[in-house]
Structures are given as C-alpha cells and as structure tokens.
Amino acid sequence: MRAWSKLGIIAGDGDLPVRLAEHCRAGGIPVHISRITGMSDARLASWPGREFAITAFADRIAAMKADGVDAIVFAGYVRRPDLAGLRGGIKDALVLPRILAAAGKGDDALLRAVMDVFAAGGFTILGAEDVLEDLIATEGLYGRIQPDAAALADIDKAASIARHIGALDIGQAVVVANGLVLAVEAQEGTDRMLARTAELPADLRGRPGARAGVLVKVPKPQQERRIDLPTIGLATLEGAARAGLAGIAIEAGGALVMDRAGLVRAADEAGLFLIALPPPAAEAAGTLRSAP
C-alpha cells in the first residue's frame, strides 16, 4: 500500500523520467510531470503537468500542490545552470541564496539543498527505485559474458578510484584498462567520458575482437541516494562498446539499470559483460553469480 496518493516527477532529460511516467500510467498511478524549461525530455511535453524555469521553485511547488501531488521523484539528467545569471521570482528570494551557497560547495551539496526546498514544501521525496522496483541493480552477472582475471583486476582499481573521486564530489565513473586509468568522469557525464575514451589509441583501450578495460560506476560515498544514483542504459553500453571496453561494473543496490532485459541482449550481442558487485563494490570481486 502506497503512503502517498499522487506522484510528481521533476523531469530532466533521458529515458528515466519517461519510463517512470509510463510505469505510472500502466499501473493507474496518478502522476504530474513537472518539466524544466529547456531541459526536460520532449516526449513528456503532452503529459499532464506544468513547465517552469529551473529556478521557479515556488511556482513549481504551488502547481504540484494544487494538482494534489504529495510525493515527488527527481529523474533524468539536468544541466547545472549558469550560476552567475541565476534568477528567480520574488517568491524565490529566500530560496535562491541557499541554493547558490550550496552550489559553491559541489554537486552533492547542491542536490541536497534542492531536495530540502521540496521537502520543506511538504512533499515526500522518493527515489526512482521506490516507484519502479526493478530499476535497482541486483547483485550478480548479467548475460552470458564472463569477466576474466584482467577485467576483475581493472574493476578493483577503477572502483577504488571512483570512490575516491566520489568522496571529493567529482564524479561517479572511471575507465581502467590493463591497470591504466584512461578516463575519470567530471561534469561532462558518462557518455562524453566514454566518447573521449574511444578517441584514445586502440592499444590502450582494446577493440572489437580484443576488448580490454572496464567502466565502473558507483555512488559517491556521501551522496543522497534518492537522487542522482548512477544509471546505465543502452547509451552507456554503446559508448563502452565503441571505446573497445570489455565490460561494465556497477554496485548492487547503488545503481539504476534501464531496460534490463534489452540491455543484457545488447551486451551479449556486443560481447561485453555486465556485473553488479556487492557493496562496497569491487574491493572483493570474488565469484560472480547470475543476476535474477
């Protein structure tokens, strides 16, 4: 039994907010799509809800409350706005200074400050996996491709580095091949990081038929897990394949997996492994079992 009656999806770009909306429609769950001007996925334009500028906190909250929303989920990619030109309405005058102050402390502090604004508005804050349970990564091996000893060693190193950069609020993902760090995620995001990796010499990163290296994505140790959990989907897999990597590793319970069945089929066809390791991820990769 749900403890809330109507869901507001504060929607950024990408498949996640669309999938959540479609899940709500299929399950008869009342939903309000709160779009962000210039950032929300165009597929959501016709859904019930409203659109506001990213800084219009008061108007966004008022619109959702007027429509009966009592729980919200943040979903999709949202670009960090130009802080120098950040402006809101008169009703946001008390909120924006707190947002600006938090933004200067890093992404995690910024996201927590934004969540606090909506929590103070009376909403229950949910994670995407609270709405759609099969999004969350479960422990084990996905598909039929097994990582070899070299890949497991790369996972160990990449996971350790990812946790260090996460603790510094830099990013969530790292690429390592044959013990060599090829890329570290920062503000560009995982897809662009993989594109950079694909531009490196093939002898560093592998190639189809002789794949080498791994992408590891793990949550930042200190992050608020109801927002901005690492997410992998078909675009992630395609980027890893173009970069010549051997596979992708995530943390069980600490990542969202989009269209799991389709992703596994695509990984098997491309010859890449997908694994979800037990927290705290790859420090002890050990024996892998098949994921359900």
This prediction's pTM: 0.83
At the fourth CATH level, which superfamily is domain 136-284? Answer: LpxI C-terminal catalytic domain (3.40.140.80)
State the fold for domain 7-132: Rossmann fold (3.40.50)
Q: Residues 122, 127, 128, 132: what is their CA dihedral angle, to the nearest 10 degrees? A: -100
Q: Determine which helix (DSSP H) or strand (DSSP E) holds 267, and give its type and residue range.
A: helix 260-270
Tell me the C-alpha distance between 261 and 143, whole Å: 9
Would you list the domain boundaries of the chain? 7-132, 136-284
Rounded to 10°, the helix 234-242/260-270 angle is 10
The answer to whether 186 and 170 have CB atoms below 8 angstroms apart is: yes
* Amino acid identity at 41: D
- Edge-to-edge strands, sheet with 49-52: 49-52, 31-36, 7-11, 71-75, 124-126
pLDDT tens per residue across all 292 residues of the chain: 678 899 999 999 989 999 999 999 999 999 999 999 999 999 999 999 999 988 888 899 999 999 999 999 999 988 776 655 556 555 666 777 777 777 777 777 788 888 899 999 999 999 999 999 889 999 999 999 999 999 999 999 999 999 999 989 899 999 999 999 999 998 888 999 999 999 999 889 988 888 999 999 999 887 778 887 899 999 999 999 999 999 999 999 999 999 999 999 999 999 999 999 988 744 444 444 556 5
Rg (CA), the chain: 20
pLDDT value at position 101?
79
Tell me the C-alpha distance between 119 and 71, whole Å: 9
Q: What is the DSSP string of 199-243?
A: TS-HHHHEETTEE--EEEE---TT--TTS---EE-HHHHHHHHHT
